[in-house]
Amino acid sequence: MNVPTAPSEDLPDLPHARQLKVGFDWLSFDPVLESEFRRTRLEESLGYIRANLLLGVVITLAFAAMDAIVLGHTLDRIPARIEILVSEPLLLCVLAATFAQNRQRFYPPVAMAALGLCGLSQAALQVIASLSGTALQFPSMIWTAMFAYFMAGLVFYQALAVNLLVLVAYLAAGTATQLGAVAFSYEALALVTVNLIGASVVYMHEKTSRTRFLEAGLLREMVARDGLTGIQNRRMFDQHIRRVWNQATRDAQRIAVLLVDIDCFKDYNDRYGHQAGDECLRAVASTLSRSARRPLDFTARYGGEEFAIVLYEASREYVAEVLTRIQRSIADLNIAHEASTVTSRLTVSIGAAFILPTTNRTPEGLIQLADEALYSAKGQGRNRVVVMEAEYHNLQTGRFEKRRNQRAG
């Protein structure tokens, strides 16, 4: 699925969009996106790669059998021995690497090393055959080149590096051993041609693949973002809180939920208009997203003028630090709010809850506790913070829903 084409200046300020804007003529992304692209590419093509490696094992066995039958003792069965004792184990090692737990890290270098050694062994075989006066009708170097380019799941530069190594080694060996000029020139030309065609096709295919990856990522980012504020939306919050709840339960780590509500926001809209209200929401959202800055911190628009922040490994000190940072940053915005019943500047009320998750409770209880803390903050006059922790153990799911509907505004 493609994102509709739009001028680059109209794209949102999101990682995939930024990469689309600057382009990637050298088939390289920003390091974070590059890692994501290679990980996604490998996982999506894993079944295809494994099937190709099994096919490579079968084809290598077929070459070994054919060499043994056709060449007989002409080369003392060296071709068959190379296929069986070198190429086969190397291909099986690459296949095993696809099942490694850390295959994202290990597969590419293992595949490059193994295919490079396969190619070098085939180049050596071709040189040995030529020196003995035996003509191999189909140089297996060509088969190795095609496999590296099209079947091993390597990115363009990885496949190119493998094949350039084999090509340079063969040209150097052929020149050093002074192989027959006609046969050597023909085989060298064939190998160069295969590399040119293979590199050209793989380059264009990978460029298209990278474009589709960025477009798909941009689409996911846009779906995950709130259309007005640009931060994560409620759906992503629901997914995130469940994910970190499970992780915190396994790791015995505390998590916190902060619900932030703009005080008297309906009155703000009535006084200044909805366009000013939208600008206010954007400013508050940007401020909140900068207030929670650790890698697993998460900020989303929860609904209307309410925002939610999730903090992982939430010690009391860190929760207090984030709450203080939020209050200061909102004050620094210095947004006029003459219609407020609290003060003449924009303020927020915050309900915070932090707990140690257990397997017999759910994240909904944590959200409800934060919701009750927010209700308490608003009931105490707004523009304040209420933190709840011990109350979680006595919480009865659902008992707060009626109150929630009474505190809008």
Give the β-pairing of 255-262 and 298-303: unpaired
Length of the chain: 409
3-state helix, strand, coil in the chain (%, to 5): 65, 10, 25
Residue pair 336/264 in contact by the 8 Å Cβ criterion: no
Closest CA to 289 of 260, 256, 247, 246: 260
Mean pLDDT over the full length of the chain: 88
Quick one: 211 and 239 in the same domain?
no
Q: Tell me what the mean pLDDT of segment 13-38 comes to.
A: 89
Q: Let me know: does 299 contact 231? Beta carbons within 8 Å.
A: yes
137 within domain boundaries: yes
Which pLDDT does position 336 carry in this prediction?
A: 96
> According to the model, what pLDDT value does residue 64 have?
85
Each residue's pLDDT tens digit, 61-92? 988 888 778 776 767 677 788 888 999 999 99
Structure tokens at 316: 């009391």
Q: What separation, in Å, do the N-terminal and C-terminal C-alpha atoms of the chain show? A: 40
Q: Are strands 306-312 and 298-303 parallel, antiparallel or unpaired?
A: antiparallel
* 38 and 74 inside one domain: yes
User: Do 12 and 111 belong together in one domain?
Assistant: yes
The distance from CA 61 to its chain's CA centroid, rounded to whole angstroms, is: 38
**pLDDT grade for 307, boundaries at 50, 70 and 90:** very high
Mean pLDDT of 366-391: 91
Q: Measured between alpha carbons, how far is 193 from 323 in angstroms, rounded to an integer?
A: 65
Listed residues 201, 222, 243: the one ending a domain: 222
Alpha carbon dihedral 278, 282, 285, 286, in 10-degree steps, equals -170
Q: How many domains does the chain have?
A: 2
The answer, yes or no, to whether residue 126 has pLDDT greater than 70, is yes
Sheet holding 255-262, edge to edge: 298-303, 306-312, 255-262, 348-355, 385-388
Residue 188: other Cβ atoms inside 10 A: 16
Using a 10 angstrom Cβ sphere, with 0-12 exposed, 13-18 middle and 19 or more buried, the burial of residue 275 is exposed
Residue 369 falls within a domain, yes or no? yes
pTM, two decimals, is: 0.70
Identify which of 16-20, 50-54, 136-140 has the greatest average pLDDT. Answer: 50-54
Q: What are phi and psi of 52, to 5 degrees?
A: -65, -40
Do 239 and 125 lie in one domain? The reply is no
The partner residues of 386 in beta bridges, in order of sequence, read 351
Crossing angle of helices 274-291 and 316-333, in 10° steps, is 150
Q: Give the side-chain half-sphere CA count within 13 A for 73.
A: 0
Query: Is 228 part of any domain?
Result: no
Is 356 within the bounds of a domain? yes
In this structure, the answer to whether residues 188 and 48 fall within a common structural domain is yes
Cβ proximity of 207 and 276 under 8 Å? no
Q: Which of 222, 257, 291 is the last residue of a domain?
A: 222
- Say whether both 103 and 41 belong to one domain: yes
Q: Which long-range contacts (CB under 8 A, 24 or more apart) does 26-35 make?
A: 27/155, 27/156, 27/157, 27/203, 27/206, 27/207, 27/210, 29/210, 33/214, 33/217
Would you call 124 helix, strand, or coil by DSSP? helix
Is pLDDT of 274 > 70? yes
Q: Which of 176, 191, 222 is the last residue of a domain?
A: 222
Does residue 308 sit in the same domain as residue 341? yes
- pLDDT at position 137 is 54
Instruction: Decide: residue 183, CB within 10 A, 0-12 exposed, 13-18 middle, 19+ buried.
Output: middle
Flag whether 2 is in a domain: no
354 strand-pairing partners: 256
Show the domain range for 151. 8-222
Dist. CA 327–CA 316, nearest whole Å: 17
Q: Tell me: the pLDDT tens digits for 332-351?
A: 999 999 999 999 999 999 99
The SS3 of residue 405 is helix
- Which tokens belong to 91? 């291909």
pLDDT at 405 over 60: no
